[in-house]
């Protein structure tokens, strides 16, 4: 991909998006990055605070579903590449309020794709998830497998993916899709299991493990994921999907035990609580396709978790502000109040 200069990173104030913005600005001194973000509860300008003086970084407050705003940004910054991270991203919230997921995760990509088509971008990249394959009880999901979504979150993400493929086939928009496994690392909102468990453990609050904790996830370090997206942007083929993960799964109970061990906290903080409805037992990816582009995950789960734990220990300013806020406390009470009392 030659001539890539002006990248629109939608959802760049969220967890993975903000890590990607840092990664790209550091790696490519001739790239300009424009973030378009609605700043929902998950969007946080603290994630980008250190870039405020960076002339190659620009922030625009706006909704990806707002076509006029999107077109204004495309024009003003001469955008040639779109990387879409913007999403409602939490399964538990999708069980509470599915409508917001359909809007941002399906309508949002459609608006961006329409704009990509109109402005003739060099690449539209959709950041998707391994959850679109549904639970994989045996073996590993390949990019050609059928989608078997089971939560409103995964169904919405699958809708976004299919819209991307439709724009490639119908209108020739040069799209690529990555389907990443669970990410961990700095700036992850503490509703997702790893930062939730780490920050609860630091404060000696119980770790609510859903069901029996035997569900399996492939937890990858967020900068490995960012590097994989970079590889697909530069070396991936338009119209193609790439799975992106470590290819190694661990169960939730082991993850919780390791967090407590790393923090020197007692295992008695583990609390088994009522399971998530429709909880997918296992996600597992075959990553040979992206590996054939030369990408390899750099961190094992244990290395990624250790770095992540260290970051939350070192940065209480970042997560204490969130956890003490009205929005977070209301969410926590709704999601865990009765579970923890049972
Ligand atoms: P996040 O919830 O931390 O951040 C989402 C960001 O999108 C926030 O900054 C939010 O303000 C913004 N946003 C939401 N709705 C918007 C809208 N309508 N217009 C503009 N901005 C909007 O999410 P994340 O964990 O960083 O995930 C980023 C992407 O990666 C998502 O598409 C998600 O599906 C995908 N993904 C996440 C994981 C994971 O483990 N977190 C794994 C694989 C794929
Ligand atoms: P999560 O971080 O929500 O990611 P996803 O469901 O998208 O994979 O959850 C990861 C795993 O941890 C999943 O199997 C559900 C489980 N989990 C708990 O056991 N307790 C919790 O409080 C949360 C949020 C998740």
Say if residues 42 and 189 touch (Cβ distance below 8 Å): yes
193 lines ligand 2 (CB under 6 A): yes
pLDDT at 3: 58
pLDDT at 342: 81
Residues 6+ apart with CB under 8 A from 218: 130, 181, 182, 245, 246, 247, 248, 249, 283, 284, 285
Flag whether 98 is in a domain.
yes
Residue numbers in the chain where pLDDT is lower than 70: 1-4
pTM above 0.85, yes or no: yes
Biggest distance spanned by C-alpha atoms of the chain: 58
Q: Which domain holds residue 103?
A: 6-183+221-244
- For residue 292, the tally of other CB atoms under 10 A from its CB is 10
* C-alpha–C-alpha distance, residues 79 and 101, integer Å: 26
Residue pLDDT, tens place only, 156-201: 999 999 999 999 999 999 999 999 999 999 999 999 999 999 999 9
Domain count along the chain: 1
Torsion of CA 338, 192, 203, 18, to 10 degrees: -150
Residues 6+ apart with CB under 8 A from 125: 81, 82, 83, 84, 175, 176, 177, 178, 229, 232, 233
Q: Which of 87, 153, 187, when mutated, tests ligand 1's pocket best, judged by the most ligand atoms within 8 Å of its CB? A: 87
Flag whether 64 is in a domain.
yes
pLDDT at 1: 46
Flag whether 168 is in a domain.
yes
Q: Using CB atoms within 10 A of its CB, is residue 200 exposed (0-12), middle (13-18) or buried (19+)?
A: buried
14 lines ligand 1 (CB under 6 A): yes
Flag whether 288 is in a domain.
no
Flag whether 287 is in a domain.
no
Say if residues 214 and 137 touch (Cβ distance below 8 Å): no
- For residue 160, the tally of other CB atoms under 10 A from its CB is 26
* C-alpha–C-alpha distance, residues 216 and 273, integer Å: 17
Length of the chain measured in residues: 342
Flag whether 306 is in a domain.
no
How close is the Cα of 105 to the center of ligand 1, in Å? 9
Flag whether 164 is in a domain.
yes
Kind of pairing, strands 6-10 and 81-84?
parallel
How close is the Cα of 218 to the center of ligand 2, in Å? 12
The CATH number of the domain where 158 resides is what? 3.40.50.720
Residue pLDDT, tens place only, 161-170: 999 999 999 9
125 lines ligand 2 (CB under 6 A): no
Which residues have a catalytic role annotated?
130-131, 153
Flag whether 194 is in a domain.
no
């Amino acid at each position: 991909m030659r001539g890539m200069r002006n990248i629109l990173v939608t959802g760049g104030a969220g967890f993975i998006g903000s890590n990607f913005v840092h990664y790209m600005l550091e790696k490519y001194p001739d790239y300009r990055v424009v973030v378009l973000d609605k700043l929902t509860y998950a969007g946080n300008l603290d994630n980008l605070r250190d870039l405020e003086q960076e002339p190659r970084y620009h922030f625009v407050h706006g909704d990806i579903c707002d076509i006029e705003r999107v077109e204004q940004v495309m024009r003003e910054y001469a955008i040639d590449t779109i990387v879409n991270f913007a999403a409602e991203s939490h399964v538990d919230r999708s069980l509470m309020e599915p409508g917001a997921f359909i809007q941002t995760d399906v309508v949002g990509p459609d608006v961006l794709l329409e704009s990509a088509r109109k402005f003739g971008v060099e690449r539209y990249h959709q950041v998707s998830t391994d959850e679109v394959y549904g639970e994989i009880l045996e073996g590993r999901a390949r990019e050609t497998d059928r989608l078997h979504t089971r939560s409103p979150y995964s169904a919405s993400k699958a809708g976004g993916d299919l819209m991307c493929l439709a724009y490639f086939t119908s209108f020739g928009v040069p799209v690529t899709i990555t389907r990443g496994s669970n990410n961990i690392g700095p700036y992850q909102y503490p509703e997702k299991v790893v930062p939730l468990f780490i920050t609860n453990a630091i404060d000696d609050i119980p770790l609510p493990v859903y069901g029996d904790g035997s569900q399996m996830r492939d937890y990858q370090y967020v900068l490995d994921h960012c590097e994989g997206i970079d590889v697909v942007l530069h070396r991936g083929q338009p119209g193609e999907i790439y799975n992106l993960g470590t290819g190694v799964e661990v169960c939730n109970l082991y993850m919780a035990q390791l967090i407590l061990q790393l923090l020197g906290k007692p295992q008695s903080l583990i609390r088994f609580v009522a399971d998530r409805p429709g909880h997918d037992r296992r996600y597992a990816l075959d990553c040979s396709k992206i590996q054939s582009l030369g990408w390899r995950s750099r961190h094992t789960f244990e290395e990624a978790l250790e770095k992540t734990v260290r970051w939350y220990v070192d940065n209480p300013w970042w997560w204490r502000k969130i956890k003490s806020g009205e929005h977070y406390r209301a969410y926590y009470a709704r999601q865990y109040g009765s579970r923890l009392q049972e």
